Structure 1
Amino acid sequence: MEGLARIILRDGRVAELREARDTPEDRRMLHELFRHASADDLYFRFFHMVKEVSDRDIDQMIRIDGQGKSLICVSQDQILGIGHYIMTDGASAEVAFFVDDRVQGRGLGTLLLEHLAQIAWRRGLKQFEAYVLSDNRRMLRVFQDSGYEIHEQHESGVIHLVLPLQQTERTRALQETREKLATAASLRPFFEPAVVAIVGASRDSHRLGHLLLRHVLEGSYNGVVYPVNSSAKAVLGVRAYPSVQAVPDAVDLVVIVVARDQVQSVVQDCIIAGVKAVLITSAGFSDLDANGAALEQDITADLRRHGIRLVGPNSLGLLNAHPEHPLNASFAPALPPAGSVAIASQSGALGIAILDYAARMGVGVSSFASTGNKADVSSNDLLQYWEDDPATAMILLYLESFGNPRKFSRIARRLTQRKPILAVKSARTVHTSVPTESGLQPVDNEVAVQALFQQSGIIRADTLQELFDIAALLGTMPLPDGNRVVVITNAAGAAVITVDALGAVGLTLAEPPVDLGVDALGQRYYEEVARALRQSDVDAIIVLFIPVGISEAQGVSDAIRQAVEEQGLSKPVLANFLMMGHGPIDYIESPTFRIPVYPFPELAVRALGQVARYAEYRRQPMGRLPDLEHIHVDEARTLVQQWQSPDEAVWTGPVRASQVLDMVGLRSQLALTEEDQGFCRLRIRCHMDPLFGPILTATPVDQENISRSRLIPLTDRDAEVFAQAWLRGQKGAPFCKKVLSELFLRVSRLIDEVPEITELEIDEAWVCHADTKIVSANVLLERRTL
């Protein structure tokens, strides 16, 4: 982090974290920080009584040059805290903090430590040291809560702390939990505001501001809403005010519906009024041109400096369908039926269409947000808000691009263990960029996108229709325990289509399709569905029905419903009534369940196939970064740092590359024996994608047109699934899987924990059931920096 970073405190307050600068403004704010500090806080920081912090003290904090780093947290033109480290030798640095007592206990000290530790580790430092007075319990708590392993030594009332900077699963988990809770708190004013102001609310019924105010008023909102209009006394019978500052209540959420050129002045009005959240529907920013992008950056920076979160610009709004907090601050004409599905859409227009389709399909919604240009609030933030939201059980995403895919992956891995995430990711074309509602967007690396979704358990739909086909099944049925399916039909032709579709998505028949013929259909469907529900070797049931007479459809529906009511819903049941045509999914309704009825059998099978893969992902233990023998990453990093050039990136060559690989347990010299004939030969490459980070790609030596990729770091589950895919059908596969998994894990550890390596090429790796042999390799090292 060399520039600005947004941080969120435990109470949801937003601030910016940046380097301290030797400028009159930063010096003034630092003097103010210490001037308002208590005598005890100053004593704990400087180890002696201090009446006033001198310019010399300030110099020592910000004039660090290349010997360390100093970060300040700024909000509303005030410094809330400062943290810095100064190198004591090539591997260690002393770290110190000071936090305004008005924000102590909100996690700022821990955030400063986390960011400083990441910067220091990236620059090659291995540990922090700190000296803390034994009475300074708050500062000791900061270090203890960080998750880093701490070594303490007590010295005459002073505690000497040593913190190794290498992250562990514990430090990652604690950091992610802190971030999740803080992010959720910062988004609450959007979804549960007590007071809303609509800037641009108009008396003209054709204007968007009029429409949005009407939607809020007609959406059963139980808070207070204020129209803001400089020339009207009232809008839709509600008293209007000329500015946000003039509104008599403290405003939680401001929705801005004005022309682009007026937005910046409205934002300044919001800042002065001290609002908590801003939603900008106006377009013409980064979605239009460079001038709009610059204006968007200025507005976002202004809001961030004052701790205000932003949805948009170019957003079509948000809504909350929960009965306790109903809000329709969007251009959707009405609140959808309340339910458990949360929806986020980068495209506003598509998002409104998705809401409409959800209502027509009977999919209940918990909340919805159109992220627009994602200047601040992104899909990552929304996922963290919905992760612990009790009203949300499933999440649907329409994505055009990623902002921080590595963070997206970490969040999604946690979430998909409990709540399914369904996504449509557009912009797969080979063009450099494609037009979207958010402007001309670069096309993400499709290989990396696919790897991200596979590794994080996200269900990827190719179309919006498939998205809802899957959602209908997930929202009404239990997950299958396996891939064995019973097909019950009254038409052989429909069964043939279904069986072909089952094979295409990796599902298998538990038994030959049951053809009921044309007689006594209601009773026959009841008997066969009930029988299949009782069978332990059946994981899902697909019921096909082609009507012979108009009146029979209701009888068949009743028979299926009765069988499920009597036997219990222990496995998914889905149906296709072919006479439905092209309409949306229907349901066989019961007070306790709903069986989705698809218009075509292929749609039912495709949805079941996606759900079965997700269920298999859920059954596996959540992946972790395992401990492996013969891993010496610190030594490998020390070695490559010696080889770096200050002038340019350099390739190490095969000899040095083999030394580095040997330090993570990958040997270049190993003779294969006669017992090791069932091996596979792979070419492995790791490279740095500018957006997705490091990517591992494996290619068979004898099939260079076939490659598979995974994002680094790999968990043990990632590596096992990856290895299994490579070895499927090969001789000796069961014996080689563990070795190949370890190969991928060791390469991943090297690339993830030695950031000086920007590219790794293994020309040939021989993998057998006993070991791995690296035939030849090369490593690219980034240019050495301070």
Structure 2
Amino acid sequence: MAHVILRDGHVAELRKAKNTSQDRIWIRNLFESVSEQSRSLHFSHTSHVFSDAAIEEMIGDGGQNALTLMCTDGTRALAIGNYRRLDEDRAEVTFLVSDDMQDRGLGSLLLEHLAEAAYLNGIKQFEASVLTDNERMMNVFRASGFAMTINQESGVIHVMWPLRQNERSRGLKEIRERLATSASLHGFFHPKAVAVIGASRAPERLGHVLFRHILNSDFRGTVYPVNPTASSVAAVKAYPTLKDVPESVDLAVIVVPASQILSVIDDCIDSGVKSVVILSSGFSDTDTPGTELENEILRRLRSVGARLIGPNSLGLIQMDPEVRLNASFAPQVPEHGRVAIASHSGALGITILDYATRIGVGVSSFVSLGNRSDVSGNDLLQYWESDPSTDMILLYLETFGNPRKFTRITRRITRNKPILAVKSARTPVSVNVAKSRTVAVAAEDATVEAMFRQTGIIRVETLQELFDVAVLLRSGDGHSGRRVAIVTNTAGGAVMAVDRLLREGLEFVSPVINIGFESLAESYRTVLPQVLRDEAVDAVVVLFTPVGPSDEEAVRVAISAALCEVANDAPRSDGVRHPYEKAVVANFLTTGDYRVRYLEVDAERSIPIYPFPEQAVRALAKVTAYHEYRDRDPGYIPDLQRINTDLARAVVRKRLSAQGSAQITDEETMHRIVDALGADLRLDHPVATEITAQVEIRIKFDPQFGPLMRLDMGDVDGGAKLQVPDLALPAVRLIPLTDADARGIWREAKSTLAAAVDGGVRSSVLDFILRLSQWIEDAPEVTQALFTLGVTTESLYLLNSFVEANRVDVS
């Protein structure tokens, strides 16, 4: 069973229909409740009454020959979708949607999930027969993005389409999901009426604190305290139950003991509340009975299409001037800005907010996710992706709920909005701590690192560094390159800065420009424009140690004036970056205040001033790497020619049907797979005869992240592999790979094969990587594989392979 979000934000349950009396009744009720026109349009071959035998035939055997998926609200079937196998490769598909649930995207959702289930059962093609006046159903098929063949005769349209997804169908599916998720969260961030259930008159109680925070945040809507024993809370009239509140409530914030929670949830359901935040603890964060209670809460809310943040959340904040809601335990409301924040840890989330307030980072919205029983980080990311008031996203993560979905979402977002993440639970000890807190499994850190690099997420080590990078991103600096100059009046600070520059992979433009201690402000004012105009410089680090009491302000004015001067330089037409567009970061070694500060240049730009040199350099390195990621071709999953993944898949399925698992070790079978994938393994490079290296492509199945690809390469003449810096990471990517991912994994794995590798070998390996990725993605039976490729003067051949395969049950 899975929850799905419809086009209007309504949440429903999607599951396989079962041959039970309840499901048969729901299917019959749906069939009988729709209009005569709907029945004739969708089931023209069926009588007007569904017999039990007809319903049982529709429900089928769970997918091998027939399957019915049912979308429900917990009380009835909202829609059903069915496929019935016609032969080994083909199945016929039909749908029926309740008249009152039309135009909410149910047909598209059912088609997507039916297609996935059918493909898992070896079906390669869907077919449908649609009456010519059933334009609504044809729109569902067209909107799927699948490549379709359409024939029309005698008032009936015959539609056929292969079940393999392409770039268009994937893109349309993601758009539908993003829009629906965003709509489902609207009530959390734009409520007109909020109820605090458990608001207390006692100032020390959490319910009172939360209610006060909403009042003090100058909420633009109406807030109602709900307390069965108080007539008022904080001089505001209280109501005994939610049902007594005189207007419709958009958002319910619950602060009652876990033992009282179910009756409150029932009140929310009876009152039509669609957005619920539970701040109380005592659920999956404690023990098994707490987990069962949390599951029951979620079941009840989902039955009416409501959404839940928490339990065990510390609340949410929305700083939109039209809302201004602090429904959290954060004591101070941050400035309004364009940074959204999500935190797995409530306490750390409050700390993050406090620091943001102290250094002047404005916040658009904040959510403490708590136990994440419903609303997840992936949901928030999709909301903020479409939120025009959010330009940057900060995340504190301990685990991943659905990392493959996280990967798809974030690689879209980071092209337009930077995402910064602190990912804890990186060591075995911290993983155990995270497990005890969140009852979730932590991923291997190398895999997490690979995912962040693949998606363009800026990973930082500490909460301090999170804001070091954020303030540089929001300061208005343009793209920076890796060539960095240093202007300083302190040699010691310059040494530290150069060390950190090189460790971060930046290039130091020598020499250090040391202006000494005489005429400080004038020297900075004179030197900085010269450095910024140097075409060999991409960015500048300004270091300053004050000598006299008035030096700092004078230097600030001088730096600002220098930037204003180069801003007036004539635009460049030769592709060289304009001096004003070059990144500038500063470090003022003062005492007493170790926060990041700002030097305002003009209305659009400010220069961050860090308390220590290494902070400035590390932030610059992170931002530089992010801009490089954004400047690279984002790539796409290619629709490969000459590939027959069905044939390659059949090799595995044949082994599965014979023995329940697959072990493919013979060279003949592996060559059959390579041929089916359409790989051209010839090496046409003129110096290929000199290559005696080995290329290893390993595919590993991670229980959280799914299939991963790792590429390792040997050296020329059997030499030792190239020694890489300590900071180097394995060449790993999550499947499926785009063409840009293939180039990236090659770039990271390449050793000293030099020019020869960049020719025929490179083309052959990249092509095979993409084909192998497509096969793994299209063959869901394959859960773990190891492939070793050897490079010879004639061809690439498989030395050995091991595939452990299992049937995948997606019910």
TM-score grouping bracket, smaller chain normalisation? over 0.9
Q: Counterpart amino acid of 1:458?
A: I
- For the 8 Å contact 1:434–1:440, the answer to whether it is kept is no
Q: 1:724 aligns with which of 747, 768, 791?
A: 747
Rounded to whole Å, the distance in 1 between the matches of 2:439 and 2:765 is 41
- CA 1:647–1:344 in 2, change beyond 3 Å: closer, same or farther? same
Q: Counterpart amino acid of 2:781?
A: E
Q: In the alignment, does 2:367 pair up with 1:344? A: no
Partner of 2:36: 39
- For the 8 Å contact 2:120–2:808, the answer to whether it is kept is no
Rounded to whole Å, the distance in 2 between the matches of 1:773 and 1:25 is 56
Shift of 1:704: 12
CA deviation map 1:23-46 (0-9, x unaligned): 222233223323331121111122
Rounded to whole Å, the distance in 2 between the matches of 1:398 and 1:24 is 46
Rounded to whole Å, the distance in 1 between the matches of 2:419 and 2:209 is 32
Q: In the alignment, does 2:804 pair up with 1:780? A: yes
- For the 8 Å contact 1:526–1:559, the answer to whether it is kept is yes
Rounded to whole Å, the distance in 1 between the matches of 2:219 and 2:808 is 57
SS in 2 for 1:722: helix
- TM-score normalized with structure 1 length: 0.95
Q: Counterpart amino acid of 2:653?
A: Q
Q: In the alignment, does 2:597 pair up with 1:586? A: yes
SS in 2 for 1:245: helix
Q: Counterpart amino acid of 1:713?
A: P
Q: How does 1:698-709 map to 2 (within 5 A)?
A: 698-700=711-713, 707-709=730-732
Partner of 1:408: 406
Shift of 1:728: 4.8
Rounded to whole Å, the distance in 2 between the matches of 1:257 and 1:784 is 41
SS in 2 for 1:723: helix
Q: Counterpart amino acid of 2:616?
A: A
Q: How does 1:387-398 map to 2 (within 5 A)?
A: 387-398=385-396
Rounded to whole Å, the distance in 2 between the matches of 1:20 and 1:739 is 46
Partner of 1:289: 287
Partner of 1:22: 19
Rounded to whole Å, the distance in 2 between the matches of 1:530 and 1:585 is 24
Q: 1:13 aligns with which of 7, 10, 14?
A: 10
Shift of 1:509: 2.4
Rounded to whole Å, the distance in 1 between the matches of 2:521 and 2:735 is 54
Partner of 1:677: 690
Rounded to whole Å, the distance in 2 between the matches of 1:743 and 1:684 is 10
Q: In the alignment, does 2:481 pair up with 1:482? A: yes
Q: How many residues align?
A: 782
CA deviation map 1:574-604 (0-9, x unaligned): 1000114661101112441221000111110
SS in 1 for 2:242: coil
- For the 8 Å contact 1:314–1:438, the answer to whether it is kept is no
SS in 2 for 1:342: strand
The percent of aligned pairs where both chains have the same amino acid is 46
Shift of 1:529: 1.9
Q: Counterpart amino acid of 1:727?
A: K
Q: Single out whichever of 266-275 and 352-361 deviates more from structure 2.
A: 266-275
Q: 1:245 aligns with which of 243, 246, 249?
A: 243
- CA 1:264–1:703 in 2, change beyond 3 Å: closer, same or farther? farther
- CA 1:67–1:242 in 2, change beyond 3 Å: closer, same or farther? same
Q: 1:633 aligns with which of 638, 645, 666?
A: 645
CA deviation map 1:711-762 (0-9, x unaligned): 1111111111111112155433433444433332232122112222222222
Q: How does 1:180-191 map to 2 (within 5 A)?
A: 180-191=178-189
Rounded to whole Å, the distance in 1 between the matches of 2:745 and 2:643 is 21
Q: Counterpart amino acid of 2:193?
A: V
Q: 1:660 aligns with which of 666, 669, 673?
A: 673
Partner of 1:740: 765
Partner of 1:695: 708
Shift of 1:366: 0.5
Q: 1:430 aligns with which of 414, 428, 431?
A: 428
**Which consecutive unaligned segments of at least 5 residues does structure 2 have?**
568-579, 715-719, 724-728
- CA 1:324–1:536 in 2, change beyond 3 Å: closer, same or farther? farther
Rounded to whole Å, the distance in 1 between the matches of 2:336 and 2:512 is 38
- For the 8 Å contact 2:683–2:764, the answer to whether it is kept is no
SS in 2 for 1:451: helix
Rounded to whole Å, the distance in 2 between the matches of 1:521 and 1:670 is 62
CA deviation map 1:591-650 (0-9, x unaligned): 412210001111100111111111100001212112444422122112322222355322
Shift of 1:414: 0.4
Q: In the alignment, does 2:550 pair up with 1:551? A: yes
Q: Counterpart amino acid of 1:18?
A: R
- For the 8 Å contact 1:658–1:667, the answer to whether it is kept is no
CA deviation map 1:365-391 (0-9, x unaligned): 000000011101011000000001111
Partner of 1:220: 218
Partner of 1:275: 273
- CA 1:419–1:128 in 2, change beyond 3 Å: closer, same or farther? same
Q: Counterpart amino acid of 1:578?
A: L
Q: 1:618 aligns with which of 625, 630, 645?
A: 630
- For the 8 Å contact 1:510–1:538, the answer to whether it is kept is yes
Shift of 1:774: 3.1
Q: Counterpart amino acid of 2:130?
A: V
SS in 1 for 2:653: helix
Partner of 1:498: 497
- TM-score normalized with structure 2 length: 0.92
Q: Counterpart amino acid of 1:467?
A: L
SS in 2 for 1:144: helix
- For the 8 Å contact 1:636–1:660, the answer to whether it is kept is yes
Rounded to whole Å, the distance in 1 between the matches of 2:188 and 2:18 is 34
Q: In the alignment, does 2:304 pair up with 1:306? A: yes
Rounded to whole Å, the distance in 1 between the matches of 2:543 and 2:549 is 16
Rounded to whole Å, the distance in 1 between the matches of 2:107 and 2:234 is 48
Q: In the alignment, does 2:157 pair up with 1:159? A: yes
Q: How does 1:355-370 map to 2 (within 5 A)?
A: 355-370=353-368
- CA 1:144–1:669 in 2, change beyond 3 Å: closer, same or farther? closer
Shift of 1:547: 1.2
Partner of 2:134: 136
Shift of 1:250: 1.4
Q: What is the Cα-based RMSD across aligned positions, in Å?
A: 2.3
Q: Counterpart amino acid of 1:612?
A: T
Q: In the alignment, does 2:777 pair up with 1:752? A: yes
Shift of 1:767: 7.5
Partner of 2:586: 575
Rounded to whole Å, the distance in 2 between the matches of 1:216 and 1:156 is 64
- For the 8 Å contact 2:682–2:795, the answer to whether it is kept is no
Q: Single out whichever of 474-483 and 352-361 deviates more from structure 2.
A: 474-483
CA deviation map 1:146-189 (0-9, x unaligned): 11111111120011110110000100000000000000000010
- CA 1:581–1:708 in 2, change beyond 3 Å: closer, same or farther? farther
- For the 8 Å contact 2:194–2:252, the answer to whether it is kept is yes
Q: How does 1:462-481 map to 2 (within 5 A)?
A: 462-481=461-480
Rounded to whole Å, the distance in 2 between the matches of 1:436 and 1:550 is 52
- For the 8 Å contact 2:730–2:749, the answer to whether it is kept is no
Q: Counterpart amino acid of 1:716?
A: D
Q: Single out whichever of 497-506 and 171-180 deviates more from structure 2.
A: 497-506
Partner of 2:738: 715
Q: How does 1:52-201 map to 2 (within 5 A)?
A: 52-64=49-61, 66-201=64-199
- For the 8 Å contact 1:668–1:774, the answer to whether it is kept is no
- For the 8 Å contact 1:129–1:160, the answer to whether it is kept is yes
Q: Counterpart amino acid of 2:560?
A: R
SS in 2 for 1:663: helix
